[in-house]
Amino acid sequence: MFFILNGNRQANGDYEVHNKSQGCHYMPLATNQILLGEFPSCREAVAYAKLKYNNARINGCAYCCAPCHTS
Structural domain boundaries in the chain: 2-68
Q: In the prediction, which pLDDT does 55 show?
A: 85
Question: What pTM was computed for the model?
Answer: 0.93
Task: Give the C-alpha separation, 51 to 12, whole Å.
Answer: 20
Q: In the prediction, which pLDDT does 42 show?
A: 97
Could you read off the pLDDT of 13-63 as tens digits, one per residue? 999 999 999 989 999 999 999 999 999 999 999 999 999 999 899 999 999
Between the CA atoms of 11, 17, 68 and 49, what dihedral angle is there, to the nearest 10 degrees?
Answer: -110
At 70, the pLDDT band (50, 70, 90 cuts) reads confident
CB 43 within 8 A of CB 68: yes
**Residue 71 pLDDT > 90:** no
C-beta atoms surrounding 63 within 10 Å: 16
